[in-house]
Amino acid sequence: MAEEKEIGKISHYFTNLGVAVIEVTNGELKNGDKIHIKGSTSDFEQTVDSLQIDRQEVEVVKKGESAGLKVVEHAREGDLVYLVE
């Protein structure tokens, strides 16, 4: 099984857009990374293919920053985000 490292949490979810806001609390998140979003009712993996800060495309989101990410399933505020190694 792949190693997982907690890198942040979902601070907001826009249902109409299918976009989650990830607050990075540990390390960094990059385009191409594989993540696992897990919460009380959420549990899915996906590859990061687009990150945005203030509607601007970015390649990397560092600790302390938040970015919007299009998610493949419904995410909820408070869900934890893990980087799949």
Split at pLDDT 50, 70, 90, the class of 31 is very high
33 has pLDDT over 80: yes
Nearest to 81 by CA among 43, 48, 46, 38: 38
Query: What is this structure's pTM?
Result: 0.94
36: Cβ contacts below 8 Å, ≥ 6 apart: 4, 43, 44, 45, 81, 82, 84
The yes or no reply on domain 4-33+42-84 and CATH 2.40.30.10 is: yes
47 has pLDDT over 90: yes
SS3 content of the chain, % helix, strand, coil (to 5): 0, 60, 40
Rg of the chain over Cα atoms, rounded to whole angstroms, equals 11
Q: What confidence score (pLDDT) does residue 2 get?
A: 82
Domain ranges of the chain: 4-33+42-84
Tell me the percentage of the chain whose pLDDT exceeds 90.
96
Split at pLDDT 50, 70, 90, the class of 1 is low
Residue 57 and residue 3: Cα distance in Å, rounded? Answer: 28
Q: Could you tell me the sign of the dihedral formed by the alpha carbons of 44, 49, 55, 58, in that order?
A: positive
Give the mean model confidence (pLDDT) for residues 53-72: 97
